[in-house]
Amino acid sequence: MRKEQHHKGWNEIKTNDSWAIFKIMGEFVNGFERMSQIGPCVSVFGSARTKPDEKYYQLAIDVAKKLAESGYGVITGGGPGIMEAGNRGANLAGGTSVGLNIDLPFEQHDNPYIDDDKSLDFDYFFVRKVMFVKYSQGFVVMPGGFGTLDELFEAITLIQTQKIGTFPIVLVGTEYWSGLLSWIKNTMLEAKTISASDLDLIKLVDSPQEVVEIIDAFYKGHTMSPNF
C-alpha cells in the first residue's frame, strides 16, 4: 500500500510538471509579444532595499534620466529601491519606463513610475531573465545584492560563451564595486579561471554621463536589435 501511494505521488508530480510547461510557455509568449513592441532599452539593476534618501537611489534616478534623454528606454525589475529609482528617472525625462515584476514573498511590489502599458508580471525568474537579456541594449548595474549579481554574471557568462552578442555592461559606483573587481582580477585571473579579455566586458564608472557615453560609443559600431 505504501509503495502504491509513493508511485501515485510521483505520478502527480510528473503531471503537474507537464502542465507547468504551458504556464511557462504563456509567460514567454506574453513577454515576447509585449517587449518586441518597445524600442531600444537599457536595463538598470540594483538593490530593492535602497531607500530614497540614500545616494545610490538619487544616482539611479540621474542615470535613468540621462539614458531616457539620450533616447533609450529604461527596463527595471519593477520593484522598490534602485528599480523604483530607475523607472522614476525615465518617467521624469518622459522616456519609456518598463517594469518586469516578479512575484516574491518579500521586498517586491510594483513601483508607481512604470508606464501603464509596460508593466509585465512573471512567476518564473528564468523567464524574466530572458526578457532582460533579449530586449536590453545594455546593462547598468547599480549597487545590489544576490539578485543583482545573478543578473550581472548571467550576462557576462552568455557573452563570454558567445550565446549572445556583446553588449555594454556598466557597473556604477566605484566605492561599491571595486572590491569585487579586485577579487576577479587578483583571484580569478591569477588562478586562470578567466581570461584577461573577459575583464573587457565590464566597465566601472561613477557618473550618468559616463554611462551614456559608454553605451553610445558601443552602438556607433553595432546595430541595435534583440540579443538572440
- What is the pTM for the complete model shown? 0.89
Tell me, what's the pLDDT at 108?
Answer: 59
User: Which residues, other chains included, contact 215 with Cβ-Cβ below 8 Å and sequence gap of 6+?
Assistant: 42, 67, 70, 72, 137, 138, 168, 170
Rounded-to-integer distance, Cα 48 and Cα 70, Å: 25
- What's the order of all strands across the beta sheet hosting 119-122? 119-122, 97-102, 73-76, 41-45, 139-141, 169-172, 202-205
3-state SS, residue 217 = helix
User: What pLDDT tens digit does each residue of the chain (228 aa) get?
Assistant: 555 555 556 565 556 788 889 999 999 999 999 999 999 999 999 999 999 999 999 999 999 999 999 999 999 999 999 999 999 999 999 999 999 999 877 655 789 999 999 999 999 999 999 999 999 999 999 999 999 999 999 999 999 999 999 999 999 999 999 999 999 999 999 999 999 999 999 999 999 999 999 999 999 977 777 665
Strand pairing category for 97-102 and 41-45: unpaired
101-143 confidence digits (pLDDT tens): 998 776 557 899 999 999 999 999 999 999 999 999 999 999 9
User: Which residues, other chains included, contact 6 with Cβ-Cβ below 8 Å and sequence gap of 6+?
Assistant: none
142-162 confidence digits (pLDDT tens): 999 999 999 999 999 999 999
User: Which residues, other chains included, contact 44 with Cβ-Cβ below 8 Å and sequence gap of 6+?
Assistant: 60, 63, 64, 67, 74, 75, 76, 82, 83, 86, 140, 142
Structural domains in the chain, CATH included, are 38-219 (3.40.50.450)
3-state SS, residue 106 = coil
Tell me, what's the pLDDT at 19?
Answer: 86
Supply 61's cell numbers. 534616478
- Render 162-208 in DSSP notation, one character per residue: TSS----EEEE-HHHHHHHHHHIIIIIITTTSS-GGGGGGEEEESSH
Number of H helices, E strands in the chain: 7, 7
Tell me, what's the pLDDT at 2?
Answer: 55
Nearest to 152 by CA among 126, 166, 133, 178: 133
